[in-house]
Each structure stands twice: as C-alpha cells, then as structure tokens.
Structure 1
C-alpha cells in the first residue's frame, strides 16, 4: 500500500462513488483529506470519512477559488464532473454550459485554488479524471461530454509541461469504460463489465507516491476483459 503520511490531499466530488473509494484508500495510506463537494453527497461523506476540513462549494462559481486558496493542499484529486448524452442536432447551449461547466470549469477553479500554495512550496501534484471516449477522441451520442473530458486532458497535459520545472506535476486518468457505481448499475450495466472504483483508487494512490523520475502523465485503466 502507498504511504501518504503527512500528505494533505484535496478531493473534489466528495460523496461520489469514485471519490469515496479514493478517500478510503488515501485514509488507509495516512493522508489528511480536504473534502470538497455539494449538499447531501458531501454530508454523507463527512459522516463516513474523517477529514481535516470539509467545504460545501459550487466549483463552477469563481468565488470558490478564494476559499480554496486559503487551504494548503499537497495534492489535488479532481473527480467532480457530470455526464449526459444528447443527439448532436438536439444539443443546445444549456447542454454545452452544463457539461463544460461541470467537467472543465470546476477543474479550472480547483486548480486556481490550490496552485499558489503548490508553487510556493515548489511541490505538488494535480490529478484529474478524463474519459475513455476522450482518449479515443470519439463519443457517439455524447459529443459534448467527450469534448469536455478531452478539454480536461489537454488542460492537465499543458499544465504539466508548464509547471513541472517548478515542482508541480499532473496526471490524467482515463477510465476506459464505465465505473462500477450504483447509478450505473441502476442504468442496467453489469458489474462484470465495469471498472472497480477501488482499483482506480489504488492506482491513483500509487501514482501519487511514484518518484519524479518515474512520473506518469497519463494512465488508462481498463475493465476486466
């Protein structure tokens, strides 16, 4: 198991299935958590998980940046996001704003919040979750979702190129299939065809502790074939 004693991790999307699995893995590894989420999901996470601090924030709101800048996070793991599908000819501006807001704007604001401290200490890591469709640059029936997740990957890769000389690195995780969550099971997906969120959590915890000379910038995780 990765050892993260003394490491403070800011985890967005707190309360979600993936974030909960990640949080438990990080706690077991000794990390201290700053949980960022919304409403009932965050309240459930706060009840279940020991956290250094908890923040109920709308990360699409620019005001969230100032609140996050007051915190000192060594690592940011951004799992906040949303999915919806629509036929291309039926998509509208509201679909665009919702998906790019939930997937890209939230990441942008979270990064703006944690980056000043990371640059000051000349050390930090930013991890974000893209999607298998973005890795293949295709997403039938989900063009806006795929584009927003591709933007996440492009943003993180560019950040890594800009900031690695200053001690800050990034990692883009591509789940190459659906993640095993209650929502996906309710949608009719079989657990055998989905990716175990615990495996993703273990992968991220390991990535955080890899030495700089063995750093990963992109990582694809597949369901069992």
Structure 2
C-alpha cells in the first residue's frame, strides 16, 4: 500500500514537471521567432469614407451640366436622384412653387339682371350650348358660365362659337399653385448619362425635359422664383 502511494506521488510530480517544461519551451519558441519582422510596419485600419460624386466644380477636365424636370412627385424626383448618384454623379434637387393652369372657363360677363341671364341660357340651349349656368350671388353675380375645358383650344372654339351667336363670350384660365422639383447634375463631357431612360422607368407619365446649363449656373431659375410650367394631359 505504501509503495502504491509513493508511485502515484511520483507520477503526479513527473506530470507537473512535463507541463512546466512545455510552457518554458513555447515561450522560448515565441521569443526566437517573432510574429512580425522588424522592418515591416504594422497594418493600419483606415475607415472607409463615402466617395464624392462627379462635379464640374471639382473636375479637372471638361464637363457638361444639365437640369431635368419638372417633376410633380417628390418620390419620383428622389428616386431619379438616387439612380444618378449610383452612377457616380453629384446631384442637387431643388423644389419651388409654380402656377399651373388647371382648366379654362368660358363665360359671359356683365349681364344686368338675373332674368336676362336666364334668357341667354335658354337661347344658347336652343343653339346646342347646353351647359350654361347663372351665377346667383357674389362678385360675379348674373355671369353666365358655359363650362370648364381642359385644353385652351377647346375653350377658344367654344368662345368663338358663342360670339358668333351674338354674345360677348370670354375665357380665362383657372390656376393652382403646385410644388415642382428640378434635378441638377454634372457629367464628364460626352458621357451621355441615360438619365431620361431612368426617368421613364421610374415614372413613364412624368414627361420631363433635359435642359443644358452652364456649369457655374447652379439653381438658374433663382431661389423662390415662380416657373410657368405647362399643365400635363390637357
């Protein structure tokens, strides 16, 4: 029994000695063979910075600069601007208010009495002008309205026909104020960026124009200016 205990103690001591020798050996190995060579500097971590898009103001070569619009949808304008940025070009979106003709009203003004106005409406009805109405009150009281027309051409034809019948017909455009969006972008001369193709893919009904501008003429409509934009689908 005593011999067995002595043998176990001896084995434990030997194991401890072997573990100690392995640790010393590993430390010596690391000291003899460094992980990096002395003449090579350590790697530096560089944080990635966003790449600036192409701009005529920073370019060293010749550039072409354009404005595309108008867009009546903010989502359409921002989607197209995103496509242009992905192509590597700098983009500026400008928004402004514009007066747009909603439709055209044909009317006969300056009628002295309500009875006379009603008589005119009845007479025009006999001549196939069946949309006449008398304004009952307000600053345009007793005016005869002859309908709203989506296009200027139709309003003019209706006006001329009523004048032919002997009445002083006139027309006027009804305007509304809307917000529109224009996109400015620059490109290297001769690039031919397919911006119009992207615009048609995003919104086929937008019907914008690409307008060349001088490259130092950013926001050339002027801040806060009104731009007369022809209405869509008259």
Q: Which bin holds the TM-score, normalised by the shorter protein?
A: under 0.3
Structure ID, larger Rg: 2
TM-score (norm 2): 0.21
Bigger helix share: 1
Q: Which has the higher contact order (CA 8 A, sep 6+)?
A: 2
Bigger strand share: 2
